[in-house]
Amino acid sequence: MSNIDILTTLESLLEERKSADPDISYVARLYKKGSDKIAQKVGEEAVETAMATAKGDDEELAKEAADLLFHLMVLLKSKDMNLEDVAKELARREGISGLTEKASRSE
């Protein structure tokens, strides 16, 4: 299994955890709290990732980025979305200037 395949494996596991017991599964507990609480956790992990970057600690950055990606994937699953949905959006943006894409969004 390649390292990138772990994301596919993780997505499957996160889907399974939707029906797990929140008393024994951290992910099931997150799902039980709802997407707003999961989004809050994503925000916390994003701040920790930024702080690791500011400290210049690459090892800590990798750990915090893993936490951020994990919780983002939980959030996506809580909304019945997955990485394929995100990949489709990235593919849609391919070849479009970042400034052009950003300007096209409704504020």
In sign, the C-alpha dihedral spanning 7, 8, 11, 13 is negative
- Are the CB atoms for 5 and 71 separated by under 8 Å? no
pLDDT at residue number 26: 98
Q: Maximum Cα–Cα distance for the chain, whole Å?
A: 47
Q: Other C-beta atoms within 10 Å of 68: how many?
A: 20
pLDDT at residue number 77: 98
The domain covering 5-104 belongs, at the CATH homologous superfamily level, to MazG-like (1.10.287.1080)
- Are the CB atoms for 48 and 62 separated by under 8 Å? no
Per-residue pLDDT of the chain (107 residues; tens, 9 = 90+): 678 799 999 999 999 999 999 999 999 999 999 999 999 999 999 999 999 999 999 999 999 999 999 999 999 999 999 999 999 999 988 887 877 777 777 65
Residue whose C-alpha is closest to residue 72's, from 90, 51, 46, 50: 46
